[in-house]
Amino acid sequence: TGIFELVKASDKGILVFGDNIPVFPESQKLCDEFGLDFLSTITSGTLLVAADPSNAEKILRLYKKNNLRAAKIGKIKEKDYGLKIMRKNNVSNLNFSEKDEITRLFE
C-alpha cells in the first residue's frame, strides 16, 4: 500500500520490480498460507525512498553499510504509464486494494 500512496501523492506512474522486493520468509509464509497478496498488506516500519536514479547505488551502499535491508524496487514514471509490476521479465498491471489484505482474515 505504501507504493500506491507514494505514486498517488506524487501524481505519477510506476514500474515496480517485483522480484527485488525484500520480504521476510515469515511474512511470505503467512501470505502463502492464507492466500494474501503481500503488496497489499500493512507495511509498518517500511521506508520508501524516492530519489534521483543517479543516487540509487550510493543510497543502497549507505543503508547496507549500516546493516539495513534495502533494495531498488521500482522506477517512477509519468502518470499515463500507470501502475505496473515486472516479475521474471513479464510486465503486468499492478492493482492495489484500498483495504489491507490482513483484514480479510477477520471477515
- Among 21-25, 69-73, 86-90, name the one with the lowest average pLDDT: 21-25
- Which residue is it, cell 509464509? 29
**Nine cell digits for residue 19:** 522480484
Nearest C-alpha neighbor of 104 from the set 43, 45, 31, 44: 31
Longest dimension (CA), the chain: 45
Rounded to an integer, what distance in angstroms lies between the CA atom of residue 28 and that of residue 38? 7
**Nine cell digits for residue 26:** 515469515
List pLDDT tens digits, range 24-69.
899 889 889 988 887 877 766 788 999 999 999 999 999 999 999 9
Rounded to an integer, what distance in angstroms lies between the CA atom of residue 90 and that of residue 7? 21
Q: What would the mean pLDDT of 59-87 be, rounded to a whole number?
A: 96
Helices (H), 11-55: 25-34
Domains, the chain, in order of start with CATH, read 2-106 (3.90.650.10)
